[in-house]
Structure 1
Amino acid sequence: MILLTGFEPFAEDTVNPSWLAARRARELLAAEGITVEAVELPCVFGESAKVLTDAIARLNPDIVVCTGLAGGRGRISLERVAINCDDARIPDNKGQRPLDEEVVPGGPAAYFSSLPIKAALRNLQIAGIKGEVSQSAGTYVCNHIFYALMHSLAAKPGIRGGFVHVPYLPEQLPEGSATPSMPLETMAEGIADIVRTALHAQADVKYSAGAIR
């Protein structure tokens, strides 16, 4: 069983490509005979984590891939590390704006993704899909859910999971905008490739994807 998640729209956006891509990736994987569910998360601190952990308890998945929007990035970003910090630049969808608060009070400073992110990156590149390993998922609701996911899975060693950021859709941007974007079908295929990689790779590979800054 695979669990995919994406977020509802937030801020000024009327759609969130992470949810559209997760839903389409579910269709692609289901067509291959893979058992997969997709859940839309609220863009709300705390509430999003509860919806996610309830879904994990209900579905008992083998792999969890959470997705979110990173507007301004031009690649599918495989996030390496979640940090125990909520520091919101803008309010969430219920007006909450935590500043320098822990996601889980007293929890570890950080968790690493348990997905094979280097192997997944290599497979994205082979498929001609722009990808990268990202060293920061930010401090907004995306990092919040990534940390909550990994904290939950720390007590469930049989389940692997991680977080993926996707770019804007082209139709979200004004005509002629220089802001990077990616078609929905490419995003969905990229997420599906990440799932396929996780299904077949129990351990990650050594592959150059670090950052100088």
Structure 2
Amino acid sequence: MKLLITGFDPFGSESINPAYEAVKLLPDSIRDLDIIKLEVPTVFGQAGETLKQAMDIHQPDYVLCIGQAGGRSAVTPEKIAINLMDGRIPDNAGYQPFDTPVREDGPAAYFSSLPVKAMVQAIREAGIPSFLSYTAGTYVCNYLMYELLYLIDHHYPNTKGGFIHVPFMTSQVVNKPNGTPSMDLKTIASALENAIEAIAENETDIQANMGETH
């Protein structure tokens, strides 16, 4: 079986992106899964096209996309993607959408088809902070998660997919305000490996309360 895992290139004012840097540290196989690594551009539209091309070529059983969420202190599997693009900053091609749907013919939202609660639990059991997120934002990360699940819905019914946000890596916060959260890159990569192990081991998600109170 195969798992395609993607990470974005640097965007905004950053010269590095922990998403793909952590992906590069992963082994080439985890449990019974062959791991296929792919860097995607932080560009609306182009990121989805790059992903689709890779899915057409590799026909993966699972797809896991990784993105940077600067300001978060934990590794956060995403539960839901919404049909909305609204860029606080332009993407790497200069495009800055405003209240624009990802897909005109798509539903308001898609839920991850990966065992996200089992992934959170596995990461925590490894001693790494993790929680389940119910918002992937409105930037290219949410776009790619939504596009992935749209592609699965319309073209790849036997594939399961989802998204994980990771914090800044330590070197990124050296000149940021005191208290800016970060995580060591090797720890981020370990968390991703734990999450993939949970994907391999859980055909369905575990039953656990991980909801938010706000």
> Which TM-score tier does this pair reach, normalised by the shorter chain?
over 0.9
Pairwise CA distance, 1:114: 0.5
Range 43-52 or range 188-197, more displaced: 188-197
Pairwise CA distance, 1:33: 6.6
Pairwise CA distance, 1:170: 0.8
Distance 1:77 1:7, change over 3 A: same
Amino acid at match of 1:51: T
For residue 52 of structure 2, what is the aligned residue in structure 1?
53
For residue 157 of structure 2, what is the aligned residue in structure 1?
157
Name the Cα RMSD after superposition. Answer: 1.4
Q: Provide the C-alpha distance between the structure 2 equivalents of 1:142 and 1:133, rounded to a whole number of angstroms.
A: 16
Q: Provide the C-alpha distance between the structure 1 equivalents of 2:163 and 2:186, rounded to a whole number of angstroms.
A: 19
Trace 1:114-129 onto structure 2 (pairs within 5 A): 114-129=113-128
| Structure 1 gaps, min length 5 | none
- The answer (yes or no) to whether the contact 2:119–2:199 under 8 Å persists in 1 is yes
Pairwise CA distance, 1:90: 0.4
Pairwise CA distance, 1:106: 2.0
| Structure 2 gaps, min length 5 | none
Q: Provide the C-alpha distance between the structure 2 equivalents of 1:117 and 1:32, rounded to a whole number of angstroms.
A: 18
Q: Deviations over 1:11-45 (max 9, x none)?
A: 100000000011112x2x53767411110000000
Amino acid at match of 2:200: L
Q: Deviations over 1:70-127 (max 9, x none)?
A: 0000000110000000000100001000100010112110000011011111111111
Pairwise CA distance, 1:169: 0.6
For residue 100 of structure 1, what is the aligned residue in structure 2?
99
After TM superposition, the runs of 4+ consecutive aligned structure 1 residues lying more than 6 A away are none
Determine whether 1:211 maps to 2:209. no
Q: Deviations over 1:141-198 (max 9, x none)?
A: 0000000000011132211110000000111112683111111111111111111111
**Please, what TM-score do these two structures have when normalized by structure 1?**
0.95
For residue 173 of structure 2, what is the aligned residue in structure 1?
173
